A and B are shown apart, each in its own frame.
Chain A
Amino acid sequence: MLILLIIGLLEPPSYVKAYDRPNDGGGAIVIEWEPVSDTLLKGYEIFRRKAGEEEFRKVAYVAKGRNSFVNSIGIKDGVKYEYAVRSVGIDGSYSDLSIPAPPVVSYPQWFKKNKINTLLAIVIYLSLLVYFTQAAKGRELFIRRIAGLDHLEEAVGRATEMGKPILYVPGISGMSSIATIASINILSPVAKKAAEYDTPIIVPNRDPIVTMVAQEVVKEAYTEAGRPDAFKRENVFFLSDSQFAYAAGVDGIMVRERPATNLFIGMFYAESLILAETGNMTGAIQIAGTDAVAQLPFFIAACDYTIMGEELYAASAYLSRDPKLVGSIKAQDWGKVIVMGLVVLGSILSLFNIDLIMKFFATI
Chain B
Amino acid sequence: MRRTLPLVIAFIMGFVMMIQYFIPHPMSQKFYKIMVQQWLIIISIFFYVFAWRSFGIYHINKIKRRKEGWWASVVAFVGVFLMLLSGFGDRIPGAFGHFIYKYFNFDDLYNYMFAPLQATMFSLLAFFIASAAFRAFKARTMEATLLLVTATIVMLGRVPLGASLWKGLPKVVEWILMYPNMAAQRGIMIGVGLGSIATSLKIILGIERSYLGGD
Contacts and interface: CB of A to CB of B under 8 A. Distances in A.
**A and B associate in one complex:** yes
Interface of A: 23-26, 108-112, 115, 118-119, 122, 125-126, 129, 133, 175, 178, 181-182, 184-185, 188, 207-209, 211-213, 216-217, 219-221, 223-224, 233-234, 237-242, 244, 247-248, 252, 256, 270-271, 273-274, 276-278, 280, 291, 293, 298, 300-302, 308-310, 312-314, 316, 320, 324-325, 328-329, 331-332, 335-336, 339
A178 B195 contact: yes
Contacts of B48: 208
Main secondary structure on A side of the interface with B: helix
A235 to B, nearest CB: 9
Contact of A211 (B24, B44, B54, B214): B54
Contacts of B190: 336, 339
Given A110-B25, A256-B68, A310-B195, A274 B54 contact: no
A244 B24 contact: no
A185 B194 contact: no
A23 to B, nearest CB: 6
Interface stretch (B89-97, B100-108, B121-129, B162-170): B121-129
A240 B117 CA distance: 15
A310 B213 contact: no
Interface string B189-207: 1111011111111110101
Interface of B: 18, 21-26, 28-29, 43-44, 47-48, 50-52, 54-55, 57-58, 61, 67-69, 72, 117-118, 121-122, 124-125, 128-129, 131-133, 135-137, 185, 188-192, 194-203, 205, 207-208, 210-215
A274 B125 contact: yes
A252 B55 contact: no
B199 A178 contact: yes
A252 B72 contact: yes
B24 A25 contact: yes
Contacts of B124: 274
B198 A209 contact: no
Contacts of B24: 23-25, 108-112
B22 A310 contact: no
Given A109-B24, A112-B23, A310 B132 contact: no
A235 B133 CA distance: 33
A352 B30 CA distance: 45
A303 B192 CA distance: 21
B211 A25 contact: no
A238 B51 contact: yes
B207 A301 contact: no
Contact of B210 (A23, A188, A277, A332): A188
A301 B191 CA distance: 22
Given A209-B47, A224-B215, A291 B26 contact: no
B194 A108 contact: no
A256 B125 contact: no
Given A221-B214, A302-B136, A309-B191, A247 B25 contact: no
Given A237-B54, A274-B121, A325-B208, A111 B128 contact: no
